[in-house]
Structure 1
Amino acid sequence: MSVKTIEELFIHELSDVYSAEKQMTKALPRLARAAEHPKLVAAFQAHLEETEGQIERIDQVVELLGIRLKRIKCAAMEGLVEESKDVIDSIPAGPLRDAALIGGAQKVEHYEIASYGTLAALAKQLGYKDALKLLLETLEEEKATDEKLTVLAEQGGNQRAAAERKAA
């Protein structure tokens, strides 16, 4: 990564999160199939649609600014997706797997919150007002998704996993 200016840093970070979002469009259907609780399945399915909209917003930023994204693969998201595959392969379907999937999904959301927060700060510094609005819209969606996952965990996901352990 050879970045020498704040503009190049913005493009690099935008390229990275674009790759992350693309990877999530492939991972979310797998997560939905692996989840057992209907609310978690629905959350993964809804987030897929939201992620597709976030990719469209990145495309809008690219068009607005007349920039080209770099062809890079987000290594952080690649690792998080790999962790989710390990969860699916190593934990039998049920409440414990659901609890692990929620935790993994929140790791993803926290990464995306950090990424979009960074991009918004850079856009503000660079005076990219229209791009900033789009990035902040996505940032708020990511925060809302994280909150929804917290509610899923607190309203039974973790309790069901604990009850399953006691029954064993």
Structure 2
Amino acid sequence: MNTTKTNFSKNGELKTAPKNQTTSTSKMKSSQLMKLFEDELKDIYWAEKALTKAIPKMIKKATSEKLIEALTSHLTETEEQANRLEQIFKILGKKPEAEKCEAMAGLMKESEDIMEACEPGAMRDAGIISAAQKVEHYEIASYGTLSQFAHTLGLKDAVKLLDATLNEEKQADVKLTEVAVDAINMEAAEKKA
């Protein structure tokens, strides 16, 4: 059995490498990491689609103009993030498929509970920010992991798309902190329970 693969160096010289030290694209496409990557894509795709329905509920319950503005801006980004995931499925030669993300479903349920439990105004706005930041942190972890998987798998175009979304998620988290610190948390702290 032949265990070497014939290659040519940049200067045209014949070189050989043991077959087990080379990684082909077809091996990567059928690897365990690729399966995990695809599963995680389905998970976050479901999450982004679900968030396009959850964020408008937060906007409707919010009272701070700055919070409404931040959430509205991020809703537009979330729709684009779902589109980017569809592009990644296309890169993989797969049809976009969503698989329920139990973690995100739990975070969204918690968000609904917080909005119901808090009285309207600064208290509810602070609760919305708390819930939204939990979502952002989950997304940051997910996109960071997916980017590293894509990098390892040699999916350069996917890495670019994932990194663009990762940066947006980080900025959304920063913006939510700014909104909370600027006024909402202090206003909620000053009101009697």
TM class by shorter-chain length? over 0.9
* Residue-by-residue CA offset, 1:22-50 (whole Å, 9 max, x unaligned): 11000000000000111111111111111
- What's the CA shift for 1:19? 0.5
Q: Percent identity?
A: 48
**Residue 163 in 1 paired to residue 190 in 2?**
yes
- Inter-partner Cα distance in structure 1 for 2:120 and 2:98: 36
> What SS does the corresponding residue of 2:100 show, helix, strand or coil?
coil
Aligned pair partner of 2:102 in 61, 71, 75: 75
- Inter-partner Cα distance in structure 2 for 1:107 and 1:6: 27
Aligned pair partner of 1:30 in 51, 57, 64: 57
- What's the CA shift for 1:68? 3.6
Q: Whose helix proportion is higher, 1 or 2?
A: 1
* Residue-by-residue CA offset, 1:62-113 (whole Å, 9 max, x unaligned): 1122124444101111011101111121111110111111011000000000
Summarize the Cα distance change of 1:158–1:94 in structure 2 as closer, same or farther, 3 Å threshold: same
> With CA pairs under 8 Å and 6+ residues apart, which has the higher RCO, 1 or 2?
1
Q: Is the 8 A contact 1:12 1:69 kept in 2?
A: no
Q: Is the 8 A contact 1:124 1:132 kept in 2?
A: yes
RMSD: 1.2
> What SS does the corresponding residue of 1:36 show, helix, strand or coil?
coil
Aligned residue pairs: how many?
163
2:111 is aligned to 84
Q: 4+ runs of 1 displaced by more than 6 Å?
A: none
2:145 is aligned to 118
2:9 is aligned to none
Q: Is the 8 A contact 1:11 1:70 kept in 2?
A: no
- Inter-partner Cα distance in structure 2 for 1:68 and 1:118: 21
Q: Is the 8 A contact 2:107 2:134 kept in 1?
A: yes
**Residue 142 in 1 paired to residue 136 in 2?**
no
Q: Which runs of 5+ in 2 are unaligned?
A: 1-30
1:54 is aligned to 81
